[in-house]
Amino acid sequence: MSDVITLAHGSGGRKTSELIAELFKKNLGNEYFTADDAAVMPKPEGRIAMSTDGFIVSPWEFNGGNIGKLSICGTVNDLSCMGAKPLYLTCSYIVEEGFPVEDLEKIAQAMGETCRKAGVKIVAGDTKVAGKGQVDKVFITTAGVGVIADGVNLSGANAKPGDKIIVTGDVGRHGTCILLARDEYGIEADVKSDCAPLWDAVEAVLAVCPEMHVIRDATRGGVGTVLYEICDQSGVGIDINSEAVPVAPEVRGVTGMLGLEPLYLACEGTMVMFCPAEYADKVVEALKQTEHAKGAAVIGEVTAENKGRVVMTTSIGGKTYLPQPGNELLPRIC
């Protein structure tokens, strides 16, 4: 096979078949992986959940993962947030002409590994090659199907006053890691992306708390954005304790230098959970037993007051609104 991806790899001809066989099938193959026009699988028992997500992260490789791992975690975690055990994924690549085949293989390897960890199978895929400059190296879209157990009913509209709010780990890692990887601000720090598939964590939580109200993945916009989304959807207020929000020291250092708030930086392996207060301790305990949620912590609770707002109790005992996220994150000196 050649060293770089050419337009011929996306033509649907022999080169495309080669790419599928040597690169994708090798890393992602399973009994359902198809060369036909659609994959055929047995029908799962129960309700199904379906989700899709596009990934365009730049740079495509970062401390703690790459765009391949990310594209699996993203859809696996979206399904998991609905309480759905992820079963099948599809993936669609758009690759820039000239992208090294070796790097595409790295991406496929990471996808294969992550799928095995998360217990999902990629059943169908597509590859298109775009001319030089038409995309930034490689874009991936994944879609997935999962199955929801009876009795599980998760939704962003389910938060109730009195619910405890739990994060599954320290916040803002992925965003900080990408900021560092772009090397625009001359800052060096060892910050690893939290990028990870979290179905096992969700499964563990649902086992101890089937009445869990809300689970949401804190991706773009970070935990702060999730909190505001849930306030809106559930028509409640939220009270969080700023001291209780876990932030890694290096993330604190980098964001401190740039004047950014970790609560708005993306996570890719951290969820926010809302559960009835009596389950909170059990949920945190269960999370801590799983590989990617050892830093789980209760950060606040749902209130009937201050509907639509997130109130933060600060280190000196003051109260303030957490600002509504929205604009482009720009470092500030002032």
Tokens 């365009």 belong to: 56
Q: At closest approach, how far in Å is the CB of 221 from other proteins?
A: 15
- Give me the least distance between CB of 174 and other proteins, in Å please: 16
Output 13 or 259, the one with its CB closest to other proteins.
259
Please, what's the b/e burial string for 102-128 (b: 16 or more CB within 10 A of its CB; e: otherwise)?
A: ebbbbbbbbbbebbebbebbbbbbebb
306 is a site residue for other proteins (CB under 8 A): yes
Residue 330 binds other proteins (CB under 8 A): yes
Q: If you search the block for the tokens 């389950």, which residue do you land on?
A: 279
Per-residue binding string, other proteins, 245-264, x by CB under 8 A, is: ----xx-xxx-xxxx-----
Look at strands 237-241 and 310-313 and give their pairing. parallel
31 binds other proteins (CB under 8 A): no
Size of the site for other proteins (CB under 8 A): 39
Q: Smallest distance from the beta carbon of 234 to other proteins, in angstroms?
A: 20
Considering the complex, what minimum distance in angstroms separates the CB of residue 219 from other proteins? 22
Question: Taking CB under 8 A as the criterion, which residues in 163-202 touch other proteins?
Answer: 184-190
Asked if residue 184 lies in contact with residue 83, where contact means CB atoms within 8 angstroms, the answer is no
316 binds other proteins (CB under 8 A): yes
Please name which of 319, 255, 246 lies closest in space to residue 288, comparing C-alpha atoms.
Answer: 246
Paired tokens of 254: 């980098």
- Name the 3-class secondary structure at 310: strand
Shortest Å distance, C-beta 313 to other proteins: 8
- Supply the DSSP symbol for 21: I
Pick the closer one to other proteins by CB: 118 or 179.
179
Q: Which amino acid is residue 270, in one-letter code?
A: T
| CA 64 – CA 220 distance, rounded (Å) | 17
Rank residues 10 and 172 by Cβ distance to other proteins and give the closer one: 172
Contact between 100 and other proteins (CB under 8 A)?
Answer: no
The site string for other proteins over 211-250 (x = CB under 8 A, - otherwise) reads --------------------------------------xx
For the CB of residue 322, give the shortest distance to other proteins in the complex, in Å: 8
C-beta closer to other proteins: residue 40 or 330: 330
CB of 265 to other proteins, least distance (A): 14
Nearest to 80 by CA among 27, 120, 140: 120
Which of 148, 69, 145 is closest to 106 using CA atoms? Answer: 69
DSSP three-state, residue 238: strand
Under the binding rule (CB under 8 A), the answer on residue 326 touching other proteins is: yes
139: enclosing H helix or E strand: strand 138-148
Q: Which stretch binds other proteins (CB under 8 A): 1-9, 84-92, 206-214, 314-322?
A: 314-322
Give 48's DSSP letter.
Answer: E
Pairing state of beta strands 271-275 and 214-217? antiparallel
3-class SS of residue 213: coil
Q: Which residues bind other proteins (CB under 8 A)?
A: 184-190, 249-250, 252-254, 256-259, 306, 309, 311-321, 323-324, 326-328, 330-334
